[in-house]
Chains A and B, each alone.
Chain A
Amino acid sequence: MNSTIKYFTDIFKGVLSLWAGMRVTGKYFISPGEIVTEQYPENRATLKMTGRFKGEVIMPHDENNQHKCTGCGICELNCPNGSIEIITKKVPNEEGKMIRAIDKHIYHLSMCTFCELCIKTCPFDAITWGQDFEHAVFDRAKLTKVLNKPGSSLKKKEVKS
């Protein structure tokens, strides 16, 4: 007799537990306000990345096409996987002495692991994170970028007051 009762209570409990699950999905079915899908290409305009988003390494230039990179090569040293190559050149400064300056700051986005070491260690804060995240390209070579813009020059250090 006990087993018969157990048989029916089992069925009953089973059905109840199934109903509890169906209530959850049913609840979401009738509340479309819960939809969380991001409609990506459409929401480009409203899609805001957080300020710290690690999209790619960029080198900010000011309005005079000047940047802060001196070509010291510390970022290249600190990059764990060789994503940065620094090519320097010699240019004369005001006194006519030849000093080292950046020729090409080459950044391989395809190899970067976004560890932030280059940015953290740059003594002149010359590079930072860019917010661009649409990196898909058809040609891998396009992922190799030169960060300093052509014709750019070193920004004069502002004299601290």
Chain B
Amino acid sequence: MSEETVEKKIILKEEDDYIVNMGPQHPSTHGVLRLEVCLSGETVNYMIPHIGYIHRGIEKMAESDTYKQVIHLTDRMDYLSSHINNEAVCLAVEEALGVEVPERVQYIRAILDELTRIASHNLWWSAFGMDLGALTTFFYGMRDREKILSIFEESFGSRLLHSFNTPGGLLHDVHPDFRKHTLEYVKYFRKKLPDYKNLLTDNVIFHNRTIGIGVMDKKMAINYGVTGPSGRGSGFSCDIRKAAPYGIYDKVKFKEILYHEGDSFARYKVRMDEMVESLNILEQLVDNMPEEGGFTAKMKPVIKLPEGEYYQRVETARGELGVYIVSKGAKYPYRIKFRSPNFSNLFVLNTLSKGGIIADLVAICGSLDLVIPDIDR
């Protein structure tokens, strides 16, 4: 064996490390994520995430599905922002075909995007509170999220995985009461927000648990590709809705929420402010939504993309979702690759939690808002 080819072993763990296994079944990992945590006392020395417990091979499955069928698979990646995932594929296909979708569809899609975002942040708020031991937040968050889900159910018939988008538009029109109920919801939720503030945002224990915990600076966020609210909490301006507007977003007035502290509390604040911002967007959109215009563009029954590569990115509730489609001109995609936000967001966890204690690890993990099926796909 020559000098150059000497095998170099990277030692991940020592023999006598005190390893605690968090997961795959653990209350604070919110899914089947396994964290191998090395402790000394309560201090975390390092942490190795193990993923793949819920790998379903969505990308491979998508290769034998038509473009319309791919949609329902994307639902099952980040199940909390299923509508936005759908939209990413639809936008990519529409872009490839050069189809112009009616403005009304764009409005509806954006409204649903924002509703999805609020619902997702709402669930995250509940779960984050629960991670930190405030169990009541879970029920308040769920209670308010339920209202959005009812709006969804009324229009699409399902609450979580609604496969409502289709290349070219929507599967069918929204319910006649959709606009009324959305406005009602906006009013309702604005009334509930002070509770959220009093219960958690202003709480001194919560401050102690999150401020200065898991500080991620802007450079680190960019290096790891941490996007979404987690990235924006570090001052990384990465909102796709602003950077590369899709759909109706270039016509909507809204702020990109940026915080520069980079700690768990900053990430928390970004999401809380984003909910308010989403409410503002909703009010703008719902009022201006055109009544006429149908719900789908004219599409051929069998969609065949011209040969080439297509990339579309959207802003899900957790960050940048990229869809990369390679087409060979058939009705099936040759290859689909999803750049999922959670995959990148997960791997910053080790760096952030190093040196903290277990309770911090839980807080950081919660503040990154991971959805495990999106990591594994």
Binding site for B on A (CB under 8 A): 13-14, 17-18, 20-21, 23-25, 36, 50, 52-54, 78, 80, 113-117, 120-121, 129
- Which residues of B lie under 8 Å from residue A20 when comparing CB positions? 198, 202-203
Residue of B73, B156, B157, B161 touching A80 (CB-CB under 8 A): B73
Q: In the complex, which residues of chain A have a beta carbon less than 8 angstroms from the beta carbon of B203?
A: 17-18, 20-21
Chain B residues with a Cβ under 8 A of chain A? 65-66, 68-69, 71-73, 75-76, 136, 143, 146, 153-158, 161, 163, 166, 171, 175, 195, 198-200, 202-205, 301
Nearest B residue (CB) for A25: B136
Once A115-B72, A116-B163 are accepted as A-B contacts, the answer to whether A54 and B158 lie under 8 Å apart by CB is yes
Q: Known interface pairs A25-B136, A36-B146, A54-B157. Does A115 touch B69 (Cβ–Cβ under 8 Å)?
A: yes
Q: Is the CB of A78 within 8 A of B153?
A: no
Q: Please report the C-alpha to C-alpha distance between residue A129 and residue B153 in the assembled complex, in whole angstroms.
A: 13
Asked if B198 and A80 sit within 8 Å, CB to CB, the answer is no
What chain A residues lie within 8 Å of B163 (beta carbons)?
113-116
A24 touches B72 (CB 8 A): no
Q: Would you call A52 and B72 a contact (CB within 8 A)?
A: no
Interface of B is mostly: helix
Question: In the docked arrangement, what's the CA distance between A75 and B12, Å?
Answer: 51
Task: Tell me the minimal C-beta distance from A131 to chain B in angstroms.
Answer: 9
Chain A residue with the shortest CB-CB distance to B163? A115
Residues on A with beta carbons closer than 8 Å to the beta carbon of B202: 17, 20-21
B204 adjacent to A50 (CB under 8 Å) = no
**A14 / chain B contacts, CB cutoff of 8 Å:** 204
Chain B proximity of A28: nearest CB distance (Å): 8
- A50, B153: Cβ atoms closer than 8 Å: yes
Q: Which residue of B lies closest to A114 (CB)?
A: B158
Q: Chain B residues near A113 (CB, 8 Å)?
A: 72, 75-76, 161, 163
Is B205's CB under 8 angstroms from A18's CB?
yes
CB pair A17 B204 closer than 8 Å: yes
Q: Enumerate 6 A-B pairs (CB-CB under 8 Å) in ascending A order.
A: A52-B157, A54-B157, A114-B161, A117-B68, A120-B171, A121-B301
| Other-chain residue from A13, A52, A115 in contact with B154 (beta carbon distance below 8 A) | A52
